[in-house]
Amino acid sequence: MILIKNGRVIDPKSGTDETLDLLIEDGKIAGIGKYKRSNDYERVIEAEGKIVAPGLIDVHVHFRDPGLKYKEDIESGAKAAAAGGFTTVVCMATTKPPVDNPETLSYVLEKGKQTDIQVLSVAAVTKGMQGKELTDFVELKAAKAVGLSDDGIPIQDSRLMYEALKRAKEVGLAISLHEEDPAFVLQAGINKGHVSKALGIGGAMALSEELMVARDCTLALETKARVSIQHVSSRVSVEHIRLAQKLGADVWAEATPQHFSLTEEDALVKKNFAKVNPPLRTEDDRRGIIEGLKDGTIQIIATDHAPHSAEEKSREITKAPSGMIGLETALALGITNLVRTGSLTMECFLKKMTFNPAKLYGLDSGYIAEGAQADLVIFDEFEKWKVEKFHSKSNNSPFIGEELYGKVKYTICKGRIVYEDKE
C-alpha cells in the first residue's frame, strides 16, 4: 500500500479541491480522507504543499515507432511522458508503415504494454494516409483503436471527409484532424508574414487552417460526428469552432503549449526549434487561443510531441523538419503561462489535461475517486526549474534554457510510482 499524505487534491470531475490523504492498494484508489502514518505502508509520500491530481492524458503524441525509432520509440516516449506527469498517451498513426491496419496497431499497443504508462493509439482515417480510400473503421475499432486521425496530412477531399465522418459516427469513433490546406502553404512550419520573409521561407498562411476548420465544422454539424480540431493556431479558427459548438456540432478542439506560449516572433531567435505545423502565429492569434481556453471553446491541451534528431533540426530552415517535443514541459508551461497569469484556474487547466481528453475518446480515466485506477501526478506548482535535459531521445524544444514554474515530483500509474523527481 501507498499513502499520499496531506496533498492538495484537485479532481476536476467532482470539483474536489481540498487537503486530503489518498490510500492506494492493488493499483486502485482504496480510500480518500484522513489516514494515520504507520509501518503498514510500503511507502508514505509527504505531499504537503503540493498538488495531487489525476494523471495527465495527452491525446496527441508521435512516438515514431515503428519506422523512425532513431527519433523516438515507444519506450523512450513513455519515459518522457512519465517524467512530464502523463499516465496515458494516445499515439498518432504517422509511423512507417502507418497505423492503418490491425497488425501495425497491435504492434504499437503491445509495445505500449511493456512500458510503465498506458500507451493507446488512433488509427488512420485513410489507407496509407493518402487521402483517397477509407480504412476499415469497424475492424480498427475491434483492434482497440481509440479514435481516427491522419494527423500531419490534411484530408483534402471534402466528399471523402464527409463519408469518413458519417462512417465514424456509425461506429462510434471520434476523428481528430490536422487542418492545413496545402494550397495556402508555400513552405510549412513558419507563419507567412514578415518573420517568414526575414527567415527566407515561403511560410504557411493562417487561411490554410481557417478554411479547413470551417469546412470540417460544417461537416461535423451535418453528420453529427465527433470531430476534434488538433493544435489550433489561429484566432479565426477559434471563432469557427465557437460558432459550430453554438450551433450544436460535436466539435472539440485542442491547443498546444507552444501555441499559447509563443508567437512567430520567437522563430527569429529560436529558428528551427520554433518551426512547427501549424506554425506559431501572431500575438493576436495567441491571445485568441487563450480566450478559447478560458471560455471552454478549446477543451483540451495536448502536446503534439514530435521528436526529431539533432542532425535533422540543424539543417537550414527550409529543409529542417517541423515539430517539437513537449511532454516534459507541458504542465509547467500551462502553470507558467496560463495559471500564474490568471487566464485559467488550476482546476480548469487540469481539467483540460485530464478529464476532458479522457472524455474525447471515451476513456475511463482522468479523475480521482475511490475504486478508480490510481493514475496520479503530484507536483509543486511553485517550484521554479530550468529546462535543460530530457528523457526523450530528442531535444528539439524551443524552451531549452527557459525557467518555468511547476515541477513534477511523482507520477503514479496503476498504483505504481513510475517517475520520482530525485533532484
Point out which residues pair with 44 in neighbouring strands.
3
Point out which residues pair with 403 in neighbouring strands.
386
Query: What is the C-alpha separation between 350 and 281, in angstroms, rounded?
Result: 25
Query: What is the C-alpha separation between 248 and 384, in angstroms, rounded?
Result: 42
Residue 348: strand, helix, or coil: helix
Q: What single-letter amino acid sits at 388?
A: E
Tell me the torsion sign for CA atoms 242, 274, 152, 106.
negative
Q: Any idea which residue has 487563450 for its cell?
A: 290
Q: What single-letter amino acid sits at 344?
A: L
Task: Find all residues with CB under 8 Å of 97, minimum gap 6, and list them.
Answer: 66, 67, 104, 128
Residues belonging to the chain? 423
**CA geometry: angle 410, 412, 418, nearest 5 deg:** 80
Burial of 342 (0-12, 13-18, 19+ CB in 10 A): exposed
CA distances, 328 to each of 78, 80, 325, 387, 396 (Å): 11, 6, 8, 9, 12
Query: What is the C-alpha separation between 185 and 241, in angstroms, rounded?
Result: 22
- Among all residues, which ones are annotated catalytic? 304
C-alpha cell at 220: 461535423
Selection from 384, 381, 374 nearest residue 418 by Cα: 374
